[in-house]
């Protein structure tokens, strides 16, 4: 009984809560115009949950992830992990950026090691570097500099670089966007495997609705100007999911309709 309680509170402890968060940016011409990137967004992500965020370009997805990571602070509202208010970045909350942003002066291997070096853990965890390089299939490029990589390869390095810290909460901003269909599906399965093995909480921004349905427990649909949460859809399909099952395709149609893509296609 006691054990159950503590397990529950541990899970409770790492719930991510986004509470009435708004974020406005000053317009290009000064103070007068303001872009409301996020307007009163509330969301709660349970520990170990994998949710996806989809929505048209400019609806504030990246802004939301930056707030959760602690890189920016909201104009109003509050973000918390458990009872702790998010004020600054932390190695517990990893973020894979939309652009790979690899350090051009470091080799692939050294880029992946950044998290370990920054936290002074390189010596004891060096073996993991090879593990993650294998995971993203870049062993052969260990000593290459980033400008020798293709866009997709760079994205994979960025993914490995975030994973090596074993964050409790992993924020992914279109991490598989530049990959070919085959590599993409393989990486989706790898991410799912890590998610299950480590019980990481994940927030995945994607433009690919199939990816959202295939991967996530819930799908958050956002709308732009101001950025709001339009709907949250619970994906109740059993795992492993089949991309061609009728339920999958039904859900896909439903989401497309919500995103007005279906309407745009017929118009």
Partner 1 sequence: MSQELAVQPRIPISAEREQIELPASSRVPAKILLSVPVAIILALIVHWFSAKNEPENETRLYNLFLGEMFGASLLIAYLQRFSAGLREWMKETCPIIGVAILFLAILEIITAGLRWMPLLPMPYFPSPAGVLQSMINDRELLFDSTWHSLALLLGGYTLGVTIGLITGICIGWFPLARYWGMPVLKVVGPIPATAWIPLAMIVSPSAMFSAIGLIALAVWFPVTMLTASGISNTRASYLDVARTLGASRSYLIFRVAIPAAMPNIFLGLFMGLGASFLTLIVAETIGVKSGLGWYVTWAQGWAEYGKVYAALVIMAAFFSSIMSVLFKVRDHVLVWQKGVIKW
175 binds, among ligand ATP, Mg ion, partner 1, none (CB under 5 to 8 A by kind): none
- Measured at the CA of 250, the angle between CA 248 and CA 253, to 5 degrees, comes to 110
Length of the chain: 267
Single residue of 52, 62, 165, 201 touching ligand ATP by CB under 6 A: 62
Cα distances (Å, whole numbers) of residue 70 to 85, 128, 262: 10, 26, 36
Strand bridging mode 76-81 / 16-27? antiparallel
The DSSP symbol for 241 reads P
Single residue of 9, 10, 42, 58 touching ligand ATP by CB under 6 A: 58
240 binds, among partner 1, Mg ion, ligand ATP, none (CB under 5 to 8 A by kind): none
Question: Judged by CB under 8 A, which stretch of 16-24, 95-103, 180-188, 238-246 contacts partner 1?
Answer: 95-103
User: What minimum distance in Å lies between the beta carbon of 265 and partner 1?
Assistant: 35
Site for partner 1 in 162-191 (CB under 8 A): 162, 165
3-state secondary structure 75-129: CEEEEEECCEECCCCCCCEEEECCCCCCCCCCCHHHHHHHHHHHCCCHHHHHHHH
Does position 62 interact with Mg ion (CB under 5 A)? The reply is yes
Site for ligand ATP in 17-36 (CB under 6 A): 25, 35
> Alpha-carbon distance 84 to 50, whole Å?
21
User: What minimum distance in Å lies between the beta carbon of 122 and ligand ATP?
Assistant: 33
User: What minimum distance in Å lies between the beta carbon of 31 and ligand ATP?
Assistant: 13
Cα dihedral sign, 105-160-81-2: negative
Contact positions toward partner 1, by CB under 8 A? 66, 69, 71, 88-91, 93-95, 97, 99, 101, 103-106, 114-115, 117-119, 145, 147-148, 161-162, 165
């Amino acid at each position: 009984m006691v054990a159950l309680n503590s397990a529950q509170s541990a899970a409770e402890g790492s719930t991510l809560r986004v509470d009435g968060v708004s974020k406005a940016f000053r317009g290009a011409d000064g103070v007068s115009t303001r872009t409301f990137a996020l307007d009163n967004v509330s969301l709660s992500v349970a520990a170990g949950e994998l949710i996806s965020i989809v929505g048209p370009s400019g609806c504030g997805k990246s802004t939301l992830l930056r707030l959760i990571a602690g890189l920016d602070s909201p104009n109003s509202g509050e973000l918390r992990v458990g009872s702790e208010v998010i004020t600054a970045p932390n190695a517990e909350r990893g973020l894979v950026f939309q652009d790979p942003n690899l350090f051009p002066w470091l080799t692939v291997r050294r880029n992946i090691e950044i998290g370990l070096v920054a936290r002074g853990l390189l010596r004891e965890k060096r073996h993991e570097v090879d593990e993650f390089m294998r995971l993203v299939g870049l062993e052969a490029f260990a000593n290459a500099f980033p400008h020798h990589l293709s866009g997709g390869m760079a994205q994979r390095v960025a993914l490995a670089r975030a994973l090596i810290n074993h964050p409790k909460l992993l924020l992914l901003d279109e991490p598989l966007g530049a990959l070919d269909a085959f590599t993409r599906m393989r990486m989706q399965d790898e991410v799912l495997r890590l998610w299950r093995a480590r019980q990481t909480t994940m927030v995945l921004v994607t433009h690919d609705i199939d990816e959202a349905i295939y991967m996530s427990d819930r799908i958050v649909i956002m709308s732009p100007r101001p950025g709001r949460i339009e709907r949250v859809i619970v994906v109740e399909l059993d795992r492993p999911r089949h991309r061609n099952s009728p339920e999958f395709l039904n859900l896909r149609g439903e989401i497309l309709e919500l995103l007005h893509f279906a309407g745009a296609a017929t118009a």
